[in-house]
Amino acid sequence: MSSVAGDRGRRRNYLYGASKAALSTALEGLRVRLAPLSIPVVDVRPGPTDTRLTFGMTLPGIAAPERVARDILRGVRRRRAVVYTPWPWRFVMLAVRWLPASVVARLDAPRAG
């Protein structure tokens, strides 16, 4: 289980994101290594999910664990290399990865107030 947090460094959760980015890179290497043996390796990257980790947080688009579980199972059955769940996160993170670092820094800046 990786996370969308590993797709781009952020101000508030960069250590968590770094660990997830490292995991995704390790899974990618393992996938390549095991490909000749037809052993699939699936990198699951959920967005915010309603778990103990997120209890009490107000997060837009938080996913139910049951939804995430269904998406993971579907991805495994289809032998997907990477599974974003819920599926809109694939497109959200594609856009976030393409943003210049200066824009991401402004979006992630603390708000005055």
**How does pLDDT run across 35-53, given as a tens digit for each residue?**
999 999 999 999 999 999 8
Strand partners, 43: 82
Q: How far is CA 113 from CA 50, 58, 105, 110, in A?
A: 28, 19, 18, 9
Total domain count for the chain?
Answer: 1
* Mean pLDDT of all residues belonging to the chain: 91
Q: Residue 46: inside a domain, yes or no?
A: yes
What residue ranges in 1-113 does DSSP mark as E strands? 43-46, 82-85
CB-side exposure of 36: number of CA atoms within 13 Å? 2
What is the domain range of residue 69?
A: 4-107
Output the pLDDT for position 65: 94
Q: Choose between 102 and 19: higher pLDDT.
A: 19
Output the pLDDT for position 12: 84
- One of 8, 13, 14, 16 is an active-site residue; which one? 16
Q: How far apart are CA 49 and CA 70, in angstroms?
A: 13
CATH code, 74: 3.40.50.720
Q: Residue 113: inside a domain, yes or no?
A: no
Q: Residue 112: inside a domain, yes or no?
A: no
Q: How confident is the model at residue 113 (pLDDT cuts 50, 70, 90)?
A: low
Q: Residue 31: inside a domain, yes or no?
A: yes
Does residue 16 have an active-site annotation?
yes
Q: Residue 76: inside a domain, yes or no?
A: yes
DSSP state of 78: T
